[in-house]
Amino acid sequence: MRPFKYPLPAELQLYRSLFSKCGVQEKFSVTVLIDVLHDINAKHRAAGVSEEASEEAISRDLQLAVDILNQLKLAAQNLGMYFVGELCEMPTF
């Protein structure tokens, strides 16, 4: 998830309740994953075609986006949801 989101290092776990009160989330939720996708999109739209958007950064962010999409797909499948185009359908039994 780096450079967009960071896990709390082990040495700071002692202060977990403080970080929680400050709004730090305990786990990466589906919402956080989608937010990271939006952050990646915004980053590259702002950079446009410039020297800031290096080949390395683009490749790293592309791989991160693919990894996130795969995690979202697995999460949806575990909930019994299947994506058809832009629609999310739950099977009826």
Which tens digit of pLDDT belongs to each residue from 20-45? 898 887 777 888 889 999 999 998 88
Bridge partners of 82?
Answer: 89
Q: What is the number of alpha carbons within 13 Å of residue 81 lying toward its C-beta?
A: 12
How much is the pTM?
0.65
**Cα first-last separation, the chain:** 36
Which tens digit of pLDDT belongs to each residue from 47-62? 766 556 688 888 999 9
